[in-house]
Amino acid sequence: KNEVEQSPQNLTAQEGEFITINCSYSVGISALHWLQQHPGGGIVSLFMLSSGKKKHGRLIATINIQEKHSSLHITASHPRDSAVYICAVIQGAQKLVFGQGTRLTINP
C-alpha cells in the first residue's frame, strides 16, 4: 500500500464543474504540499498546509490531520486547469513522499 494515496487517478469534467481531488496518507505528517504539473511537464507549487484551509483564486485546499486526509477543490473549472495534481507529505522529520498524481481533464 502506498503511503500517499490520491483519488481519483483520472478525472474528466465539463467546464464550470466543481472539482474535488483527494489525498489520504497513512502516517502522521508535519506538512502537506499540493503541486500542479502542466501538460508540458512544468511543476508549480500550489499550497503548503499543516492545518485548516487555504484559498488562492479558484483553488481551495483543506486538510484534516485527525482523518489523515486532504482535499483540493477547484471552483468554476476551466480547460486551462487540465493538469496532473500531485500531493506530497512530509512525514515528521524523516521523509518526503509524493502521491502518484491525479490527471484532470476539463472539456470546454
Partner 1 sequence: NAGVTQTPKFQVLKTGQSMTLQCAQDMNHEYMSWYRQDPGMGLRLIHYSVGAGITDQGEVPNGYNVSRSTTEDFPLRLLSAAPSQTSVYFCASTPEWRQGWPTDTQYFGPGTRLTVL
| Smallest separation (angstroms) from partner 1 to the CB of 62 | 18
| Smallest separation (angstroms) from partner 1 to the CB of 71 | 19
Beta bridge partners of 106: 13
Region from 16-24, 65-73, 75-83, 90-98 binding partner 1, contact rule CB under 8 A? 90-98
In the block, residue with C-alpha cell 521523509: 95
Rounded Cα–Cα distance for residues 39 and 56 (Å): 21
Asked if 57 is part of the footprint of partner 1 (rule: CB under 8 A), the reply reads no
Asked if 9 is part of the footprint of partner 1 (rule: CB under 8 A), the reply reads no
Identify the three-state secondary structure at position 10.
strand
